[in-house]
């Protein structure tokens, strides 16, 4: 996801989900999706920053997009040289600007070009190549679309359980993930389901009902970077959530402030303050892809665990704004003299990390009755 699964966000997830440790996760990280055309242009150096990652994030998969096979081949070679564990091709993005380039979901309408793109990527990367797509364009067309993808023998296909036309306007239709799993039997390609999964309990349920090899999470990770830590049995308190938000903001400023606008952080502020449910109506709900998959993707090397066994993603603020009780032995304090809604409004006006920290510290001090 452009401007979402950036290096700062992934590092926060890796830290608070205890990635690489026993009981931690996720199993696989994906970069923001990056234009292969741009990587072959004079603006390459700036786009290379979108492919930056830390050693803490392995296994690490780079996601790219283009409708030009020669650019895909060159970008795939570049991704290989950067030490990525896998390469993912975006063939599902519904953004009109991306589609005008013949990329993203537009590939669903041109299976022959899609196959050519996949094959040159496999040649250039010489490692596991996966695909992110949808169940169809204007309507579900798995019977014709999926076999074309399977013919190229990708390592995995992540399928968002909606058509391009449906965007996020209807609930994800998981019966078509089961259909895709059945179609892919014996192909050697993993089928990863995606769409509306809120936590690891639901991810396991989807695996059981569809037979999918893995589940990709998107919106659920906003405001809950500890989501994949199966050892956590209590949700972080409000104080802890806001401390993580401050840390995330400073890390974004340190790593990315010279190339990305600070406003990118504001989608995260709303999620940290209000939780997944409380963020309804924001741009978070329009995001389709995700930073990770919750079950093992065996073609990608160095994966630490095969299954997540306990869900810790709980919607901490799924009721009214005044529910701000602390947990893990902390005193509740005099919450609230200022509501989360008021805090969120103040955070939306910030321009740098120090402003965010000042507002949050003041908010927490008021909450303690000081």
Residue of 147, 151, 144, 146 whose CA lies nearest to 116? 151
Q: Is 93 annotated in the active site?
A: yes
Sequence-ordered alpha helix ranges (H) in 257-306: 266-278
Element (H, E) at 217: strand 214-217
183 backbone dihedrals φ, ψ, rounded to 5°: -65, -30
Please identify which of the residues 93, 190, 227, 313 carries the catalytic annotation.
93
Residue of 304, 300, 310, 307 whose CA lies nearest to 19? 304
Distances in whole angstroms, Cα of residue 95 to Cα of each of 5, 10, 76, 362: 17, 23, 23, 39
Q: Parallel, antiparallel, or unpaired: how do β-strands 60-65 and 86-90 relate?
A: parallel
**Cβ atoms within 10 Å of 4's Cβ, excluding its own:** 21
Both structure tokens of 222 = 């906003």
Which residues, 6 or more positions from 203, have their beta carbon under 8 angstroms from its beta carbon? Answer: 197, 215, 217, 294, 295, 308, 311
Q: Parallel, antiparallel, or unpaired: how do β-strands 190-194 and 129-134 relate?
A: unpaired
The HSE-up count of residue 308 (CA atoms within 13 Å, CB side) is: 39
Name the residues annotated as catalytic.
Answer: 93
């Amino acid at each position: 996801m452009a401007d979402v699964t950036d290096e700062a966000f992934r590092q926060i997830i890796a830290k608070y989900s205890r990635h690489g440790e026993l009981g931690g996760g996720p199993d696989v990280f994906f970069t923001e999706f990056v234009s292969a055309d741009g990587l072959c242009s004079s603006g390459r150096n700036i786009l290379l920053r979108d492919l930056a990652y830390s050693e803490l994030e392995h296994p690490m998969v780079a996601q790219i997009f283009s409708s030009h096979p020669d650019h895909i081949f060159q970008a795939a070679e570049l991704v290989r040289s950067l030490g990525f564990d896998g390469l993912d091709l975006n063939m599902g993005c519904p953004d009109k600007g991306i589609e005008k380039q013949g990329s993203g979901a537009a590939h669903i309408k041109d299976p022959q070009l899609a196959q050519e793109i996949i094959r040159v990527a496999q040649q250039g990367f010489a490692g596991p190549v996966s695909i992110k797509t949808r169940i169809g364009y204007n309507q579900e067309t798995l019977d014709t679309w999926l076999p074309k993808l399977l013919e190229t023998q990708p390592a995995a296909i992540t399928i968002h359980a909606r058509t391009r036309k449906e965007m996020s306007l209807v609930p994800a239709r998981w019966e078509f993930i089961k259909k895709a799993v059945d179609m892919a039997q014996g192909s050697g390609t993993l089928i990863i389901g995606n769409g509306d999964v809120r936590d690891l309990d639901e991810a396991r349920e989807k695996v059981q009902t569809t037979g999918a090899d893995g589940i990709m999470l998107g919106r659920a990770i906003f405001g809950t970077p500890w989501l994949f830590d199966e050892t956590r049995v209590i949700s972080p308190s409000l104080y802890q959530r806001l401390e993580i938000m401050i840390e995330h903001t400073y890390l974004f400023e340190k790593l990315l402030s010279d190339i990305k606008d600070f406003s990118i952080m504001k989608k995260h502020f709303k999620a940290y303050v209000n939780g997944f449910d409380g963020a309804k109506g924001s741009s978070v709900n329009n995001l389709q892809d995700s930073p990770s998959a919750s079950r093992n993707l065996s073609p990608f090397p160095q994966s630490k665990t095969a299954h997540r066994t306990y869900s810790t993603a709980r919607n901490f603020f799924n009721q009214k704004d005044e529910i701000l009780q602390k947990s893990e032995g902390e005193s509740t304090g005099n919450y609230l003299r200022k509501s989360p809604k008021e805090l969120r409004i103040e955070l939306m006006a910030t321009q740098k990390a120090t402003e965010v920290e000042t507002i949050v510290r003041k908010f927490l001090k008021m909450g303690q009755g000081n």
